[in-house]
Amino acid sequence: MTLIEHLGEFRSRIIKVAIAFFAVAIVSWFFIPQIFALLLEPSGLEDLNFTSPAEALVADVKLALFTAFLLTIPILLYQIWAFVAPAVGDLGKAFTYTLITLASALFLAGVAFGYFVVLPIGIQFLLSWGGDRYNDLIISKDYMAFVTRFLLAFGIVFEFPAATYVGAKLELVDAPILKKYRKHAIVANTVLAAALTPGQDPFSMVLMALPMIVMYEVSIVIARYVNPVSEVAIHERDPESGDFEEVDEDAPGRNGYEDEDPDGR
């Protein structure tokens, strides 16, 4: 395909995603009260405050867009993969459907885990901080921004196994490589958790870093089964990783043959 054809295909896929996104957003608009109550529930608050005339309207529009993004994730992932798949070879429809299902399920599982497990703990901890020294005056735009960013961050974190599945299928990563850089990954995950955590507090950072580390360990298991690597291959790539005897290229008897006599006999 020429560059113009690639751009045309890219434009076509963007339009498909945009149509699905705005269609879902329009439908979501009619359920804004229910969505608002759902996101407010973990805090235990009954209502939120706003400081400008248009703030409530803007908050509702953002909620509709946020809901549309969550519900159109499978379409978005499919269109992205369909665009880049020709560049990595024909992996088959089974692989495509498995990948899209896995990635979509993991993203939604991350959002659900953040909502049902981490968010209630984190919000209650933050709202109770300071005791009687502070009064609660929670602004709608600040609260909704915190919650939506928090849930999106968990959805992204849970995508690690899906990314590993693709990399292992393409033989770009394997379990020994992931194990080798486990300590580096823990540090990187901690830094990433600090960057993704909306609250910027150590408690929320820890609550996000722990699932990231767990997802990394799950990725190692996935890589082991999708792209198994023999011990010989590991040793050839990194001689220090196995208990193999080093082979001297100049040693006599190399490849099962004795060195010839200097006179050719």
| Residues whose CB falls within 8 Å of the CB of residue 10, separated by 6 or more in sequence, listed in order | 83
Q: How far is CA 149 from the centre of its chain?
A: 14
Mapped onto helix, strand or coil, the DSSP state of residue 187 is helix
Helices (H), the chain: 3-29, 32-40, 55-71, 73-84, 93-113, 119-128, 140-157, 160-169, 175-180, 182-196, 202-226, 231-237
Residue 24: CB atoms within 10 Å? 19
* Strand, helix or coil for residue 139: strand
Distances (CA, A) of 125 to 34, 120, 136, 227: 25, 8, 13, 42
User: Which pLDDT score, from 0 to 100, does residue 91 have?
Assistant: 64
208 contact partners, CB below 8 Å, separation of at least 6 = 118, 153, 154, 157, 193, 196, 197
- Cβ atoms of 226 and 165 within 8 Å: the answer is yes
Q: How far apart are CA 233 and CA 239, in angstroms?
A: 10
**Residue 95 confidence (pLDDT):** 78
Local confidence pLDDT in tens for the 265 residues of the chain: 677 877 888 899 999 999 999 999 999 999 999 999 999 998 888 889 988 889 999 999 999 999 999 999 999 998 988 888 776 666 667 777 888 888 999 999 999 988 998 888 888 888 887 677 888 888 888 899 889 988 998 898 899 898 898 888 888 888 899 999 999 988 988 888 877 776 666 777 787 888 888 999 999 999 998 888 754 455 555 555 444 444 444 545 444 444 445 554 4
Phi, psi for 139 (deg, rounded to 5): -85, 140
Q: How far apart are CA 262 and CA 255, in angstroms?
A: 19
Q: How far apart are CA 112 and CA 110, in angstroms?
A: 5
Indicate the pTM of the whole model: 0.75
- Tokens 């590991």 label which residue? 234
Tokens at 77, concatenated: 């992932």
Helix (H, G, I), strand (E, B) or coil at 31: coil
- Amino acid (1-letter code) at residue 250: D
Question: Which sequence spans correspond to the domains of the chain?
Answer: 3-242
